[in-house]
Chain A
Amino acid sequence: MFYSVYELPTHIFAILMIAFFVGFYWIGALLLRPILRQFVKHTKGANDVVGYVLSCFCVFYGLLLGLIAVSAYQNASETGTNVTREAAALSALYEDVSRYPDPYGQNLQWLLRDYTRYVIKYAWPLQRQGITPVEGTIRAQAFQEKLLDFTPQTRVEEILHAESLRQFNSFLEYRRMRLFSVSTCIPSVMWYVVILGAVINIAMVWLFDMKFLTHMALGGLLSAYLGTMIFLIAAMDNPFRGEVSVSSQPFEALYKHMVEE
């Protein structure tokens, strides 16, 4: 159910996330703050105590959020790099097999084009839904079968064939990495910790003794930023989902070149 947020435009996703946290804070300030304040209202210098605890908590929580955000960014970035590498290996392979004698060369190029088209038109929409596409494997196998069908007749063809096989293996490696990345995401347990931390953070702010409107304004600002941080992590998590995701652009550029050639 949570994954449906990735179908939203990014700005709507961000607004919703901020609105949720600010709304949560405001509603809590209205309903829960009077109850929570019972715990500290007779304590002398309660605001100072709450302030110290909150500062201490924020150090740990901030570190956690920061590390998770960096990890999510690195993951997305690495996936993007692998996709580019897969497309580059495919492109090199396409050039290599173009040197094969007919009908092998033409057929091999045709199979690579078919694979690229599949990745753009069918695999990517599935990846965006978090589904690992399976039919690309069939196309890769069809290419491999055809490639291994070729028997080099000259020394030049032997070298070319060896290079094509090497390039094909690189391509398979990057392809496998892309497929693994489809289901890569921050573990659920980490999300539980992040959400729990956000709730504790907000609850601590409820404990402050301040004028009501000041409470709403300052707490609202803090909650809005919390929402922004969590939105950022969520948007970068699941590298193929949502608008902030790895695109099929390298494959699209390659396919355009293949078809126009």
Chain B
Amino acid sequence: MPRDVSHENKKTPRRHSPLATSQSRREFVRRSGVAATLAAAQGLAPIIFAGCTSGVPAKGQPIKIGLLHSQTGTMAISETSLRDVELFAIEQINAAGGLLGRQIEASAPDPRSRDDLFPKRARELLSGGTAAIFGCWTSTSRKAVIPVVEEFNRLLFYSVQYEGNETSKNVVYGGLVPNQQVLPSIDWLLSAAGGLRKKVFLLGSDYIFPRTANFIAKKYLATKGLKPAGEIYLPLGHREFGPAMQAILASSADCVLSTVNGNSNVGLFAGMASAKIDPDRVPVLSTSIAEDELRNLLPEQVQGHFAASCYFQSLPQEANRQWVEHFRKEFGYDRVTGDPMEPDWCLLHLWKKAVEKAGSLETDAVRAAMLEGLSFAGPGGLVTLDPKTQHTTKYFRLGRIRKDRQFDVVYESPTPIDPDPYPQIAFPGWKCDWTDGGLTRGPEITIDGDV
């Protein structure tokens, strides 16, 4: 019977040929390897990619800004709170998604209340890619920083009241200028509400702001037919006010317009108390005292004196109450808000608005956006950036110091006052209008000269 060999022929070589067996196993291994790799890739890819993306911050690099405030030295008493309110604003902006889809990263070096360190720190910040600087308190520090921001063509946001008589396209001024603070203060002192006072004693720290502010004050008093009862300047940080008190008593002054700054105020009010000068008879109206400075002063020494400002923590507006509550919840319930913290908050938000409007961090684009006019509803009311001067419109408010280191607002201007960094009574012919060529110069003025 013939055998059917076809079946055997098919199977035999596969069972016995080493070559065929090897090929088959390699093929199996190859296919298994490819399949396993693909399966592993498919299985792990979502996990890997999910893991890689989680926790990675927004698109792009963070926006760097500089907070240039003294955290040690004589000005730390005032400037540290500005750093905090700026950090507070940045944290809120970041929590809300950032600016232009990017987080803001703040760097806050310490210029140690030394005017020589301000430009150095500013240069370090700007060299490191900082888009804008929020900083300075004293005018000497600001004037030291301006050439640096101009060199780098970046913006400095300055929130403290100052003397005016200055303009730079690289500075945005958020604080009061004399026509918004010093002149309304004098008006109030001379009014019936202020006690119809006639003998104003000018007392200040010895640097640019007090000297220029008092120069303007003297010019303004002259328009009222008055002369100051006296004028004294003491070094910044100076605490011995005994001789100044003797001078005030000897001059028969009926009020003191104080431009004393920093922790010198401790000495000033201690001197007033030890000289037994009654605030009802000779009140001090200070341009540089806010709630923060009051923390360092003894309530019994300052109660009854006055401060001129654009903002007080005790303002009854709901927006202010919420802001104060939020700040204190974040930084502690013994913390206070005041001027220039509120203007600083407003400035940072105005910058944010300008950057959003420009869609860019480029200084020229941000400035162009600002020059179109911007407003921000701050805790103390609506703040509008004046495109002509790069200053802000401000309410003028006068507060009387209470025992609890807060203020009773005794006067508030009916509307915000437009800024005028060059009041014509002091700087005739000088004008700033960035919408029309910038600065127009008048005749040179010597600040220290006789009025």
Determine if A16 and B48 form an interchain contact, defined as CB atoms under 8 angstroms apart. yes
Chain A positions within 8 Å of B55 at CB level: 7
Chain B positions within 8 Å of A19 at CB level: 40, 44
Distance in angstroms from A231 CB to nearest chain B CB is 14
Which listed residue (B29, B36, B110, B295) contacts A212, Cβ 8 A? B29
Residues of chain A at interface, number, CB under 8 A: 30
Interface bits B251-291 vs A (CB < 8 Å: 1, else 0): 00000000000000000000000000000000000000000
Instruction: Write 5 A-B pairs (CB below 8 A) sorted by A numbering.
Output: A4-B52, A12-B48, A19-B44, A103-B295, A110-B335
Determine if A107 and B295 form an interchain contact, defined as CB atoms under 8 angstroms apart. yes
Determine if A15 and B36 form an interchain contact, defined as CB atoms under 8 angstroms apart. no
Tell me whether A110 and B332 are in contact in the complex, defined as CB-CB below 8 angstroms, given that A19-B40, A141-B72 are known contacts: yes
Interface bits A231-244 vs B (CB < 8 Å: 1, else 0): 00000000000000
Query: Main SS of the interface on chain A?
Result: helix
Categorize the interface residue count of chain B: 35 or more
Chain B positions within 8 Å of A114 at CB level: 80, 84, 331
Whether B333 is near chain A, meaning CB under 8 Å from some CB there, is yes
> Considering the chains assembled together, what is the distance between the CA atoms of A185 and B50 in angstroms?
27
> Considering the chains assembled together, what is the distance between the CA atoms of A57 and B301 in angstroms?
81
> Considering the chains assembled together, what is the distance between the CA atoms of A33 and B386 in angstroms?
78
Determine if B51 and A9 form an interchain contact, defined as CB atoms under 8 angstroms apart. yes
Determine if B54 and A9 form an interchain contact, defined as CB atoms under 8 angstroms apart. yes
Interface bits A112-152 vs B (CB < 8 Å: 1, else 0): 01100100010000000000000100110110010000000
> Considering the chains assembled together, what is the distance between the CA atoms of A89 and B196 in angstroms?
56
Whether A26 is near chain B, meaning CB under 8 Å from some CB there, is yes
Whether B445 is near chain A, meaning CB under 8 Å from some CB there, is no
Tell me whether A259 and B51 are in contact in the complex, defined as CB-CB below 8 angstroms, given that A7-B56, A103-B296, A141-B72 are known contacts: no
**Which residue of B has the minimal Cβ distance to A139?**
B71
Where the two chains meet, the residues of B that have a C-beta atom closer than 8 Å to any C-beta of A are 25, 29, 33, 36, 40, 44, 47-48, 50-52, 54-56, 71-73, 76, 80, 84, 91, 107-110, 295-298, 329, 331-335
Chain B positions within 8 Å of A117 at CB level: 331
Which listed residue (A23, A121, A138) contacts B72, Cβ 8 A? A138
Determine if A30 and B33 form an interchain contact, defined as CB atoms under 8 angstroms apart. yes
Which listed residue (A8, A26, A30, A109) contacts B334, Cβ 8 A? A109
Whether A106 is near chain B, meaning CB under 8 Å from some CB there, is yes
Chain B positions within 8 Å of A36 at CB level: none
> Considering the chains assembled together, what is the distance between the CA atoms of A9 and B55 in angstroms?
9
Which listed residue (A26, A110, A138) contacts B36, Cβ 8 A? A26
Whether A258 is near chain B, meaning CB under 8 Å from some CB there, is yes
Tell me whether A30 and B29 are in contact in the complex, defined as CB-CB below 8 angstroms, given that A110-B332, A259-B332 are known contacts: yes
Distance in angstroms from A76 CB to nearest chain B CB is 20
By Cβ-Cβ distance, the 8 closest A-B pairs, closest first, are: A12-B51, A8-B51, A138-B110, A103-B296, A142-B72, A138-B71, A142-B71, A113-B332
Which listed residue (A16, A26, A145) contacts B76, Cβ 8 A? A145
Chain A positions within 8 Å of B76 at CB level: 142, 145
Chain A positions within 8 Å of B72 at CB level: 138, 141-142, 145
Given A30-B33, A138-B72, 15 more contacts at CB 8 Å? A8-B52, A9-B51, A12-B51, A30-B29, A103-B298, A106-B334, A121-B91, A138-B108, A138-B110, A142-B110, A145-B72, A212-B29, A258-B332, A259-B329, A259-B331
> Considering the chains assembled together, what is the distance between the CA atoms of A242 and B297 in angstroms?
47
Chain B positions within 8 Å of A13 at CB level: 51
Chain B positions within 8 Å of A259 at CB level: 329, 331-333
Chain B positions within 8 Å of A16 at CB level: 44, 48, 51
Per the 8 Å Cβ criterion, residues 1-47 of A in contact with B are 4, 7-9, 12-13, 15-16, 19, 23, 26, 30
Where the two chains meet, the residues of A that have a C-beta atom closer than 8 Å to any C-beta of B are 4, 7-9, 12-13, 15-16, 19, 23, 26, 30, 103, 106-107, 109-110, 113-114, 117, 121, 135, 138-139, 141-142, 145, 212, 258-259
**Which residue of A has the minimal Cβ distance to B53?**
A7
Distance in angstroms from B210 CB to nearest chain A CB is 24
Chain A positions within 8 Å of B298 at CB level: 103
> Considering the chains assembled together, what is the distance between the CA atoms of A110 and B297 in angstroms?
16
> Considering the chains assembled together, what is the distance between the CA atoms of A154 and B55 in angstroms?
54
Distance in angstroms from B205 CB to nearest chain A CB is 19
> Considering the chains assembled together, what is the distance between the CA atoms of A126 and B25 in angstroms?
54
Chain B positions within 8 Å of A141 at CB level: 71-72, 110
**Which residue of A has the minimal Cβ distance to B48?**
A16
Which listed residue (B47, B73, B91) contacts A12, Cβ 8 A? B47
Determine if B296 and A107 form an interchain contact, defined as CB atoms under 8 angstroms apart. yes
> Considering the chains assembled together, what is the distance between the CA atoms of A4 and B339 in angstroms?
44
Determine if B47 and A15 form an interchain contact, defined as CB atoms under 8 angstroms apart. yes
Distance in angstroms from B331 CB to nearest chain A CB is 7
Chain A positions within 8 Å of B107 at CB level: 135
> Considering the chains assembled together, what is the distance between the CA atoms of A26 and B30 in angstroms?
12
Distance in angstroms from B324 CB to nearest chain A CB is 15
Chain B positions within 8 Å of A12 at CB level: 47-48, 50-51
Distance in angstroms from A149 CB to nearest chain B CB is 9
Chain A positions within 8 Å of B54 at CB level: 7-9
Distance in angstroms from B18 CB to nearest chain A CB is 15
> Considering the chains assembled together, what is the distance between the CA atoms of A145 and B80 in angstroms?
14
**Which residue of B has the minimal Cβ distance to A113?**
B332
**Which residue of B has the minimal Cβ distance to A141?**
B72
**Which residue of B has the minimal Cβ distance to A13?**
B51
Chain B positions within 8 Å of A106 at CB level: 295, 334
Chain B positions within 8 Å of A138 at CB level: 71-72, 108-110
> Considering the chains assembled together, what is the distance between the CA atoms of A258 and B76 in angstroms?
22
> Considering the chains assembled together, what is the distance between the CA atoms of A157 and B328 in angstroms?
29
**Which residue of B has the minimal Cβ distance to A258?**
B332
> Considering the chains assembled together, what is the distance between the CA atoms of A15 and B29 in angstroms?
24
> Considering the chains assembled together, what is the distance between the CA atoms of A23 and B39 in angstroms?
12
Distance in angstroms from A235 CB to nearest chain B CB is 14
Tell me whether A142 and B80 are in contact in the complex, defined as CB-CB below 8 angstroms, given that A12-B51, A16-B48 are known contacts: yes
**Which residue of A has the minimal Cβ distance to B108?**
A135
Chain B positions within 8 Å of A9 at CB level: 51, 54
**Which residue of A has the minimal Cβ distance to B36?**
A26
Name, among A4, A8, A15, the residue most crowded by chain B CB atoms within 10 Å (CB to CB).
Answer: A8
> Considering the chains assembled together, what is the distance between the CA atoms of A242 and B199 in angstroms?
68
> Considering the chains assembled together, what is the distance between the CA atoms of A12 and B55 in angstroms?
13
